[in-house]
Structure 1
Amino acid sequence: MARKLLLLLLVCTSFLVHDVTGKRRKDKDREKQSLSENTENVCEIPDPNRSIDCFCDKAGYQNASDATCWLFYELQPDSVVWGYFTSQTNIEKLKINIRPDGILKYVPTWVLSQLRNLKVFDVLYGDIAEISPYAFANLSSLQEISMTRNKIIELKPYSFAKLPKLTQVTLDDNRITEIRREVFIGLPVLKSLYIDRNNLRLIYDRAFLHLYRLEELELNGNQLSVITRDTFMGLQSLKVLSLQDNRIKMLGEYTFNETPFLAELSMDRNGLQYINENAFHGLSQLHRLSLSENQLKSLPNNVFNDTPNIRFLDLRDNSLSMLSSETVRPIMESLKDVSTYFFVEGNNLVCNCQLSWVYPLRNETASDQIRNSLDELTCKPQVDAKKKLLDDIEEKLLEDIEGKLPDDPKKNLQSDIRRLTQDITDSLLGSTMKPLRIVDDDDVFIEQGYDSYGRPVQPNFVTTESNSVKHLFDIPMQDLPCPENVHRDHETSVTPDLKSKSGQGRNKNACIYHYIVSAMFVLILTVM
């Protein structure tokens, strides 16, 4: 009997506690609702001189999930207006536009902290010079941040930190100058980061170290001049990297080695001049590579060795004088696929046997785009290098004596200059000529297979008629000229001993002009 009474007592007590708890919860909700209703509804501010105006999908208290607000005047961080957002704490998407007369110099961290369900935050046309540490602190539901055109200059360490659901950050059209380490911390699912059209000059090594889930990174329209392997350290999941419209002149060894899953790389309009043969090392997943509108004169033979799966290759509008079979061989099978795109128009290709691979590709590819592109491919006929050299030196010498001699002796000198330059160049260089390039008034040197930085490039052994352009397929493949020095390099890469000989050859041939000038002094004295 006592047990039954005890059990009955426990049951009654349980119901009583539940009832009291329920009443307290209801009282708390009523209190919260009362507080909200006593606070100005941010979606329906009646004051005609209001500093902020918000358009909400639902205007009732605590009913709005989407709000677009316009800021008309400057608000201080402690302004009571920010408190109006407590009337709509269930907002999931908030966009703040600053009108021309309005000013917003900071991220309204306190307001955001009241919106526990916030998923998307967008600010446009602010004057936010810097993003402070933990500006978006403890927003556990936040998924997207967009801060376009806010005049942001500096990202402080921990600007974007401890946001477990953040997937996208957009910082386009600001004035950010550098990206330091520790700016992006505790973002385990961040997939996309866009920092286009800023003033970025420097990205610290390992600045992206903690973004191991990032898949897309856009840094277009900045002023970056140097990128290295350490720049991209930590981006082990990166698939899309866009670096268009920067100032990157060269790609060194293993530049993208930290991004093994990279599928798309865009580097158009950078003034790019040099690519190391191992720059794309480890990019076996790369299928789209765009290098158009740069200043590339040559590509190393092995540059595509690690990228056999390229399906889109854009080399348009560079200064390529040759594109050998050795260079394209690793991607040749891909170029035959029906879904592959290949663009090479707008270069300075020379009509010689190094383009012979184009003919079978034209016949074997299943891609209509590639066939059409190759049909329009043009090249410049090569001319005798010795003749080009003589013409250049003769023109330069005549320019040097312009105005220094009477007309009659000067006319008689022209034939003597031609004969003298031919004799001297024959004796110094022999019968096999390579083109000389006049650098300035005091320096002439031969292209030896190394650029002006001493880096190895495939040598250009021929010169071209600047105004003469032909469609490649107007020339039968068997008629493509293949001079001895070009033929020697047609099936082989640049030999290692060229580097040791280049200095000697350059020094030797740098004296040509000076020899001729000295001889001309003697000739002029004789004439006078």
Structure 2
Amino acid sequence: MEQVTKYLIIITSLMTAKLRFTESKNNAVPNTTRNYYPIPYINICDIIGRSSKIYCYCNNIDPELTTRADCWIFSEIKEDDPIWPNFSSQSGLEYITFNVRSENVLTFIPTKAISSLDKLKQISIQFGTIKRIPPYAFKNLPKLRQIILKSNKINILEKYSFSHMMSLSNLSLDENEITELNTDIFFDLPNLQILDLSFNNISLIHEGCFKHLDNLKELNLDNNYISVITKEMLEGLENLSKLNIRYNKLTMIGNLAFSDSSGLKELLIDNNDIEYVSERAFGGLSQLRKLTLSGNRLSKFYEDVLDEVRNLVILDLRGNLLETISYEAIRTVVENDKSASIAVYLDDNPLNCDCRLSWVYLLRNETKHNALLNALEKISCVMEPHGHDGKDKVYNKNLLPDDSYDYYDTNNNDYNNFIKPTNNEGKKLINIPIDALPCPKEIMKSIEETYGHPVQNEIKVKAFSVAGRISPDLTIIILLGKLLY
């Protein structure tokens, strides 16, 4: 009996041990199964077959080594297509490009494809039909530095389209169809330095739309339909260094229009329809070094326009309607001793060949700046001014053909709507003897009333006694002296 009891105890112990082992084994099955059968994915860098809508060419097909992907979209793809989540397998991607081959193939930002790529530094999408950028389209991308959305037929930028991207430094939206810039499109982008909105249809910029871009350095708005510019539009851009508003529809520049961008060094306003620049248009721009106003409709450039712009070294007034310009109007530039190279460009204007331009001769003889000398020698004028009807861009047939410039901005040589002369009725100013320059009657009368009857020798002494300064009135008196004696 005692032995039977012993056997029963042994059998019971064995059964208990087997039961525990079986439970332990069963509990381990899920983990073993999960580790042995990983979730399947498509390697977007190794897609084979003609049925795929996307093909990506990568610098390495190994997902752990891939850093660049150049993807081509050949047929229409939806936002919920199962291909998009597969991009998350390429966790090392730093640069990705989507090239669209046909219209209406890609109509949205592929947020589902890129939102998990936390190492992404640059994304480029070209030739899509995206139309609108929704809020937070580029979320969860902490290292993203550059977004290029060129030629995507984008029309609408919604509130917070570009927001909460701490590393973004360059945003390109050129060659789209954007018509309006509202507030809070660009939000919380502390390191954005370059914003390119050129070649769009922008006609309306709401006040404060750039107010969150404290560190923006360059803003390109060229080739749009902007007709008005005010300081409220540029609110918050105190660190802006370069502003390009070429080829727009501006007709005037009002007082202090750029004063909220006091750090500006380059202001490019060529090829608009500007007829008037107010006295303090450039007030507050103490750091401005380059101002280009070529290809506009300016008939006057007042003497005090540049009074507050003391660091200007490049002034371009080519291709306007100026009949004359005084030395006082450009004195700020030519007397800038802080720069090794200065230049004032005045050719392609219907300037009258008279004594009001006599300062050009003296400045040409005294300047040590080659760029300025070259620009002065290209000035042409007409002996007998011809009228115009206000519609033509310039006095046709009055000017010499445009010569090439040693000018560091070669993009500024093309004047919009500029009527080039067909013959050489204009004359190079420096080829006309200074004695032959006539003086308008009102000028002669004004000089005589101010200085009395001129005495030639005394006038010469006066004219050259002030070092480094040229008086336009005195140069006119020199001419009168030569004519009278």
> TM-score, with normalisation over the residues of structure 2?
0.75
Q: Percent identity?
A: 37
Residue segments in structure 2 that go unaligned for 5+ positions in a row: 1-30, 392-422, 449-485
Matched to 2:319, the amino acid is D
For the Cα contact (< 8 Å) 1:336–1:367, is it kept in 2? Answer: no
Question: Which stretch has the larger CA shift, 298-307 or 359-368?
Answer: 359-368
How many Å separate the matches in 2 of 1:349 and 1:477?
15
Name the structure 2 match of 1:177: 179
Matched to 1:153, the amino acid is N
How many Å separate the matches in 2 of 1:280 and 1:488?
34
Name the structure 1 match of 2:235: 233
For the Cα contact (< 8 Å) 2:103–2:128, is it kept in 1? Answer: no
Matched to 1:359, the amino acid is Y
- Does residue 85 in structure 1 map to residue 87 in structure 2? yes
Sort the Cα spacing of 1:363 and 1:483 in 2 relative to 1 into closer, same or farther, 3 A.
Answer: same
Name the structure 1 match of 2:469: none
Sort the Cα spacing of 1:439 and 1:288 in 2 relative to 1 into closer, same or farther, 3 A.
Answer: closer
Matched to 2:247, the amino acid is D
**Match among 312, 322, 325 for residue 324 of structure 2:** 322
| SS of equivalent residue, structure 2 residue 335 | helix
How many Å separate the matches in 2 of 1:320 and 1:470?
16
**Match among 56, 69, 72 for residue 71 of structure 2:** 69
| SS of equivalent residue, structure 1 residue 68 | strand
**1:62 deviation in Å?**
2.9
**1:486 deviation in Å?**
3.1
- Does residue 485 in structure 1 map to residue 442 in structure 2? yes
- What are the equivalent positions in structure 2 for 1:113-512 lying under 5 Å apart? 113-334=115-336, 338-382=340-384, 468-486=425-443
**1:338 deviation in Å?**
4.5
Residue deviations 1:57-87 (CA, integer Å, cap 9, x gap): 1111232111010011122111111122122
Higher helix share: 1
Name the structure 2 match of 1:97: 99
For the Cα contact (< 8 Å) 1:324–1:490, is it kept in 2? Answer: no
Question: Which stretch has the larger CA shift, 271-280 or 473-482?
Answer: 473-482
| SS of equivalent residue, structure 1 residue 118 | coil
**1:477 deviation in Å?**
3.1
Residue deviations 1:82-134 (CA, integer Å, cap 9, x gap): 12212202211110001126611111112211101111010001111100011
| SS of equivalent residue, structure 2 residue 256 | coil
Sort the Cα spacing of 1:42 and 1:487 in 2 relative to 1 into closer, same or farther, 3 A.
Answer: farther
**1:246 deviation in Å?**
0.5
For the Cα contact (< 8 Å) 1:73–1:101, is it kept in 2? Answer: no
| SS of equivalent residue, structure 2 residue 147 | strand
Sort the Cα spacing of 1:336 and 1:64 in 2 relative to 1 into closer, same or farther, 3 A.
Answer: closer
**1:247 deviation in Å?**
0.7
How many Å separate the matches in 2 of 1:320 and 1:335?
27
For the Cα contact (< 8 Å) 1:190–1:211, is it kept in 2? Answer: yes
Sort the Cα spacing of 1:79 and 1:329 in 2 relative to 1 into closer, same or farther, 3 A.
Answer: same
How many Å separate the matches in 1 of 2:37 and 2:362?
78
| SS of equivalent residue, structure 1 residue 485 | helix
Sort the Cα spacing of 1:486 and 1:337 in 2 relative to 1 into closer, same or farther, 3 A.
Answer: farther
| SS of equivalent residue, structure 1 residue 111 | helix
Name the structure 2 match of 1:13: none
For the Cα contact (< 8 Å) 2:315–2:333, is it kept in 1? Answer: no
Residue segments in structure 1 that go unaligned for 5+ positions in a row: 1-26, 389-434, 441-465, 492-528
For the Cα contact (< 8 Å) 2:55–2:73, is it kept in 1? Answer: yes
How many Å separate the matches in 2 of 1:33 and 1:94?
30
Residue deviations 1:126-160 (CA, integer Å, cap 9, x gap): 11110001111221111100000000001001000
Sort the Cα spacing of 1:277 and 1:101 in 2 relative to 1 into closer, same or farther, 3 A.
Answer: closer
Sort the Cα spacing of 1:108 and 1:468 in 2 relative to 1 into closer, same or farther, 3 A.
Answer: closer
Matched to 1:228, the amino acid is T
Matched to 1:110, the amino acid is K
Sort the Cα spacing of 1:378 and 1:61 in 2 relative to 1 into closer, same or farther, 3 A.
Answer: closer
| SS of equivalent residue, structure 2 residue 44 | coil
Matched to 1:278, the amino acid is R
**1:270 deviation in Å?**
0.6
Residue deviations 1:23-74 (CA, integer Å, cap 9, x gap): xxxx99x969943xx2010100123221100011111123211101001112
For the Cα contact (< 8 Å) 1:172–1:194, is it kept in 2? Answer: yes
**1:479 deviation in Å?**
4.3
For the Cα contact (< 8 Å) 1:255–1:279, is it kept in 2? Answer: yes
**1:490 deviation in Å?**
8.2
| SS of equivalent residue, structure 2 residue 249 | coil
Cα RMSD for the two superposed structures: 2.6
**1:315 deviation in Å?**
1.1
**1:382 deviation in Å?**
4.4
Q: Number of residue pairs matched?
A: 386
Sort the Cα spacing of 1:121 and 1:31 in 2 relative to 1 into closer, same or farther, 3 A.
Answer: farther
For the Cα contact (< 8 Å) 1:379–1:470, is it kept in 2? Answer: yes
For the Cα contact (< 8 Å) 1:335–1:341, is it kept in 2? Answer: no
Sort the Cα spacing of 1:32 and 1:122 in 2 relative to 1 into closer, same or farther, 3 A.
Answer: farther
How many Å separate the matches in 2 of 1:356 and 1:33?
90
Residue deviations 1:310-334 (CA, integer Å, cap 9, x gap): 2222111111111112211222213
For the Cα contact (< 8 Å) 2:314–2:333, is it kept in 1? Answer: no
Sort the Cα spacing of 1:285 and 1:101 in 2 relative to 1 into closer, same or farther, 3 A.
Answer: closer
How many Å separate the matches in 2 of 1:280 and 1:85?
50
Matched to 2:268, the amino acid is S
Segments of 4+ moved more than 4 angstroms: 30-33, 335-338, 437-440, 487-491
Matched to 1:86, the amino acid is S
Matched to 2:193, the amino acid is K
Sort the Cα spacing of 1:214 and 1:32 in 2 relative to 1 into closer, same or farther, 3 A.
Answer: farther
For the Cα contact (< 8 Å) 1:163–1:186, is it kept in 2? Answer: yes
**1:206 deviation in Å?**
1.1
For the Cα contact (< 8 Å) 1:337–1:366, is it kept in 2? Answer: no
Sort the Cα spacing of 1:33 and 1:237 in 2 relative to 1 into closer, same or farther, 3 A.
Answer: farther
How many Å separate the matches in 1 of 2:445 and 2:230?
34
How many Å separate the matches in 2 of 1:250 and 1:203?
16
**1:189 deviation in Å?**
0.5
Sort the Cα spacing of 1:487 and 1:237 in 2 relative to 1 into closer, same or farther, 3 A.
Answer: farther
Matched to 2:105, the amino acid is I
Sort the Cα spacing of 1:245 and 1:33 in 2 relative to 1 into closer, same or farther, 3 A.
Answer: farther
**1:357 deviation in Å?**
1.6
For the Cα contact (< 8 Å) 1:308–1:334, is it kept in 2? Answer: yes
Residue deviations 1:173-232 (CA, integer Å, cap 9, x gap): 000001001100000010000011000011111110111100000011111111111111
How many Å separate the matches in 2 of 1:336 and 1:141?
41
**1:256 deviation in Å?**
0.5
